[in-house]
Amino acid sequence: MSTAGPPARPSLGRALLRLFTVQGSWNYERMQGIGMGVSEQPLIRDLAGNGTAYRAAVARAAQFFNAHPYLCGLAVGATARAEHDGVPPEQVVRLRTALCGPLGALGDRLVWAGWLPLTSGLALIGVALGLGVRAVLGFLIVYNIGHVALRWWALRAGWTYGGRVATALREPVLQRATTLSAPAMALVTGAALPLVAQSLASGFVGWTRAALAVVAAAGFALLWWRRARLTGLRFGLVLLALATLGGWLWH
């Protein structure tokens, strides 16, 4: 390993911009690997070694990778820093491989099962309460403040910590956000459902409202009971096909 001081931090902006496309070439062989390689390029372009070290680093950067897209920057920054620090190639590869699982699990909990349904639930509440398009705009702005902040934090933390990147994953703010996001999401989506139901049912009167309650309750029971096999899409399609048939027959 090199004993010289820490490498000058390259401009992270270009890498961040490329990270917004990290899943653009998603495939079953390397999953996000190609996007990871493209995102890491601006950070490793100035590696010493007359182009040889750069090419070898690019080849490593483009290998199989799969994690949450918003947190890929952590791996990009960490491996780029490790390449600059002269960490042996096999250790760089091990570092990337070791990051897949934790970054995937953390991102899924924090974003897909936390921040996204939380903010989307707030938007649904806003629409149901009559805020209309303002609620939608609010969702886009608030969600993306968190989104861009997370991507930027991940890339910067990755570069800062390099091979010790696991330390970044133990940062108190991140731990607290992960702990709070699940109950907050549950509270908001719980509140959104009755309000949305009322809003959507406002056009129904008399027996149609009772029929709607029966269909929703029976559908929920069926989807819950057969959750391993039946999806909302399939259930919706079957129900709508039956309703169309019924509509043709029932004049």
Site for other proteins in 123-162 (CB under 8 A): 123-125, 127-128, 132-133, 136, 139-140, 143-144, 147
- Does position 82 bind other proteins by CB under 8 A? no
Q: Which tokens hold the place of 249?
A: 């027959």
Q: Which is nearer to other proteins, 160 or 199 (CB)?
A: 199
Among 10, 14, 30, 86, binds other proteins (CB under 8 A): 30
Which of 10, 25, 152, 156: binder of other proteins (CB under 8 A)?
25
Span of 3-11, 53-61, 72-80, 89-97 interacting with other proteins by CB under 8 A: 53-61
Using CB under 8 A, pick the residue from 89, 108, 152, 156 that binds other proteins.
108
- Three-class SS of the chain: CCCCCCCCCCCCHHHHHHHCCCCCCCECCCECHHHHHHHHHHHHCCCCCCCHHHHHHHHHHCCCECCCHHHHHHHHHHHHHHHHCCCCHHHHHHHHHHHHHHHHHHHHHHHHHHHHHHHHHHHHHHHHCCCCHHHHHHHHHHHHHHHHHHHHHHHHHHHHHHHHCHHHHCCHHHHHHHHHHHHHHHHHHHHHHHHHHHHHHCCCCCHHHHHHHHHHHHHHHHHHHCCCCCCHHHHHHHHHHHHHHHHHHCC
Kindly state whether residue 215 participates in binding other proteins, applying the rule CB under 8 A: yes
Integer Cα distance of 203 and 17 in angstroms:
45
* Nearest approach, Cβ of residue 103 and other proteins (Å): 12
CB of 152 to other proteins, least distance (A): 13
Choice between 8 and 228, CB closer to other proteins: 228
Q: Per CB under 8 A, which region of 2-10, 82-90, 165-173, 232-240 contacts other proteins? A: 232-240
Query: Interacting stretch for other proteins, rule CB under 8 A, among 7-15, 72-80, 81-89, 226-234?
Result: 226-234
Task: Kindly state the tokens that stand for 14.
Answer: 């270009």
With CB under 8 A, what is the number of residues at the site for other proteins?
A: 99
146 near 115, Cβ under 8 Å? yes
Task: Supply the minimum distance, in Å, between the C-beta of residue 79 and other proteins.
Answer: 14
Task: For residue 237, give every residue at least 6 positions away whose Cβ sits within 8 Å of its Cβ, in sequence order, or none.
Answer: none
Scan residues 61-80 and list those touching other proteins (CB under 8 A): 62, 66, 69-70
Nearest CB to other proteins, comparing residues 170 and 251: 251
Output 160 or 235, the one with its CB closest to other proteins. 235
Residue with Cβ nearer other proteins (59 or 166): 59
Instruction: Based on the shown chain and the rule CB under 8 A, indicate whether residue 192 belongs to the binding site for other proteins.
Output: yes
- What's the chain's length in residues? 251
